[in-house]
Amino acid sequence: MNNKTAGYLLLELLLALGCLGLAAVMLYPGSKTLQRQYYRQQLRYTAYLLAADIRQMQQQTLFQPENYMYTLKVSDKDKHSYRIERAHKIWKRVRLDADISLTCEKAIKNLSYNENGNPTAIGGYRLEHRQLPDMYCRLTVQPVTGRVTVYEK
């Protein structure tokens, strides 16, 4: 018997591999964009987490001034963490991702609020991602009101 379909399986496999290769080549530049977007979201999430912690500190001090004194502390040595102390004891410690660094102005290394909700220090924090050299998030604490704003640049 003469089999005329011999060899079609190999040809079909080569054609399928070629299509997959072409799709991979077309999607590769998109993966860089997706990775950059992931890093950007990671940086935003960290900025909003820090802002939420600062706002919570203000609220706790405002509504329970007789019981607690909260202070946010940022270390010069470790740029990947911060801590919140309550009555000089560590209440919360936050460890950031290894790619994200936190720096702050000298005046705001120890941030706390008085019983009226006013900050004891004003200034800003800056969050940077190692994979995004052209982007950073800045958090500022406004004088008098203690309002926390997040800017992305």
Kindly tell me if the per-residue pLDDT of 85 is higher than 60: yes
89-141 residue pLDDT tens: 999 999 999 999 999 988 889 999 988 889 988 899 999 999 999 999 999 99
pLDDT of the residue at 3: 62
Q: Which CATH topology does 20-152 take?
A: minor pseudopilin epsh fold (3.55.40)
| Domain extents in the chain | 20-152
pLDDT of the residue at 25: 78
How far apart (Å, rounded) are the C-alpha atoms in residues 46 and 43?
5
Kindly tell me if the per-residue pLDDT of 32 is higher than 90: no
Q: Which H or E run includes 150? A: strand 148-152
- pTM for the model stands at 0.79
Kindly tell me if the per-residue pLDDT of 13 is higher than 90: no
From 135, 137, 133, 141, select the one nearest 151 (Cα to Cα): 137
How far apart (Å, rounded) are the C-alpha atoms in residues 90 and 30?
43
- 57 burial type by CB count under 10 A (0-12 exposed, 13-18 middle, 19+ buried): buried
How far apart (Å, rounded) are the C-alpha atoms in residues 53 and 93?
11
- Does residue 99 contact residue 130 with C-beta atoms inside 8 Å? yes
- 37 burial type by CB count under 10 A (0-12 exposed, 13-18 middle, 19+ buried): exposed
Question: Is residue 1 very low, low, confident or very high in pLDDT (cuts 50, 70, 90)?
Answer: low
Does residue 146 sit in helix, strand or coil? coil
37-84 residue pLDDT tens: 999 999 999 999 999 999 999 998 888 877 668 899 998 888 999 999
